[in-house]
Amino acid sequence: MKTAIILGGLGAFATGILISLQAYLSGRAGTLVGSIRTGLWTNMLGGALAALLIIAFRVFGKQAGSALPINAARMTLIAGALGIAIIMGISFSMEIAGLAAGSASVFLGQMALGVFADAVGWGGAQPIPLDLRRLLGLLVMGLAVYLLLPRG
């Protein structure tokens, strides 16, 4: 197997751990201040940190601090708005469903959109046909989410 593929997989695995940690922290904060406030504060404080990093990159001449083209700025604005909704949703759902079922549900949603995106060829990739194998994969994941839901 190619080293790049292995590194990509390990990077994705580590990112998944970070997403679960963020979900845990957002869920806990949501119990203290509510889902909406958690989403807004998380993104505001994260934005403030990002602004400080951009300034630091500018001072030290790194590429990451350079200006964004207008199309990229629009996309990142939309992504930021989605981030607020995501944190609110995670804060709300993790408190109710628990971290395992909540994280699995988030992952199932990502996979469902990913399968659709593959089928229509979003992102410039060659379309990957929607077949029974891929649908069964989503069904098995849905069953896993169901089994992880708390009983009571």
Domain extents for the chain? 1-95, 98-152
In the structure encoding, which two tokens stand for residue 3, read together? 């080293």
Q: Does the pLDDT of residue 1 top 90, yes or no?
A: no
Share of the chain above pLDDT 70, in %: 96
Burial label for 70, CB within 10 Å (0-12, 13-18, 19+), is exposed
Output DSSP code: residue 149: S
Q: What is the pTM of this model?
A: 0.76
pLDDT in tens, 4-63: 888 888 888 898 899 889 999 999 999 999 999 999 999 999 999 999 998 888 888 777
Mean local confidence (pLDDT), 80-101 = 90
Ranges of H-type helices in 1-151? 3-33, 35-59, 70-97, 99-120, 132-148
Tell me what pLDDT residue 134 has: 96
